[in-house]
Amino acid sequence: MLPSSPSVRAPAVAGMFYPGESRKLAQDLAQMLGTAAHDAPERAVPKAIIAPHAGYIYSGPVAASVYALLAPARGRITRVVLLGPTHRVAVRGLALPGCTAFATPLGAVEIDGAAVESLRTLSQVSVSAQAHALEHSLEVHVPFLQAVIERFTLVPLAVGHASAEEVAQVLDTMWGGPETLIVVSSDLSHYLSYSDAQAVDRATAKAILGLATDISHEQACGATPVMGLAHSARRRGLKPELIDLRNSGDTAGDKNRVVGYGAFAFYEQPASSLSRPAA
């Protein structure tokens, strides 16, 4: 039975965006992650990822392609900073949920209390239980995280009207070391024809790989946190990689009106590769 305490954010889209029964959910995750791991070449573990947030039958395989990269760090990652756009409740800046845990059919994940306290000093960060209550852009990632990470605390941030610099400041505050993973939730184009979506999403993927900070919300619904990550990635010398780029016409939808999905990994570079050669 899922927790019902006011301090626990109950799942809002279990049974709709993903299975509401724990065994079925675990089976589906294992199948998607197993397929992704089998199909992908071996890579390093990313510091940050971008993954989509639609129903699992549509975007789950794309999300799995980048979540599978975290397997070698299953016991190393102990904190996840998760940012996603608001779809239902308007927010100024970034909003914490004001609870102590996020629940899914796989169990509850504790909110990182120390991180929450450090973020309260930032003027762009507020608390809004309403913004989180029905928001799917964050929730759909938590079961993936539960499947690939042994034990972790969560810092969930619903991103509303904010600048990329404000998001980057939050990321820099939460950056941490190898124990911290950053996850940005975003879909790409919405409701274009299959061929038009492919063209638009290829251009958006190129912009993300170029760490662009002028991506529109028509290109990516999570453009604000995506660009915030780009700011931090530029300053810190992260190397981005496109892991998967598809749309709902490739997975479980028709090709008349599709939604685009991309999976991206961002890798920290060895300190020696970031230093300038002597003159």
Q: Alpha helices of 6-154 — where are they, by DSSP H?
A: 22-39, 56-67, 113-119, 129-133, 136-139, 141-148
Would you say residue 275 has pLDDT above 90?
Answer: no
pLDDT tens digits, 134-155 = 999 999 999 999 999 999 999 9
Q: Please give the pLDDT value at position 42.
A: 79
Give the least confident one: 49-63, 103-117, 189-203, 263-277.
Answer: 263-277
Q: pLDDT (tens digit, 9 = 90+) per residue, 101-122?
A: 999 999 999 999 999 999 989 9
Print the domain residue range for 13.
8-270
pLDDT digit string (tens) for 74-89? 999 999 999 999 999 9
3-state SS class at 14: strand
Q: Evaluate whether residue 98 is within a structural domain.
A: yes
Residue 279 is assigned to a structural domain of this protein: no
Q: What is the mean pLDDT of residues 45-66?
A: 98
CA distances from 184 to 134, 199, 273, 276 (A): 18, 22, 26, 30
The percent of residues above 70 in pLDDT, for the chain, comes to 95
Count of domains observed in the chain? 1
Q: What is the mean pLDDT of the chain?
A: 94
Query: How far apart are the C-alpha atoms of 223 and 208, rounded to whole Å?
Result: 10
- CB contact at 8 A, 175 and 83: no
The reply to whether 142 falls in a domain is: yes
Contact predicate 160/90, CB 8 Å: yes
Q: What tokens does 68 get?
A: 């599978």
Q: What band does 278 get if pLDDT is binned at 50, 70 and 90?
A: very low
The answer, yes or no, to whether residue 2 has pLDDT greater than 50, is no
Mean pLDDT over residues 63-67, rounded?
98
Question: What is the CATH classification number for the domain harbouring 153?
Answer: 3.40.830.10
pLDDT digits (tens, 9 = 90+) for 29-40: 999 999 998 877
Answer yes or no: is 265 within a domain.
yes
Report residue 273: phi and psi, to 5°.
-80, -15
What percent of the chain shows pLDDT beyond 90?
A: 90
The answer to whether residue 278 is domain-embedded is: no
pLDDT (tens digit per residue) in 172-224: 999 999 999 999 999 999 999 999 999 999 999 999 999 999 999 999 999 99
The reported pLDDT for the residue numbered 68 is 97
Q: How high is the pLDDT of residue 43?
A: 82
277: in domain? no
120 assigned to some structural domain: yes
Examine the pLDDT at 274 and tell me if it is beyond 90: no
Q: Would 3 be classed as within a structural domain?
A: no
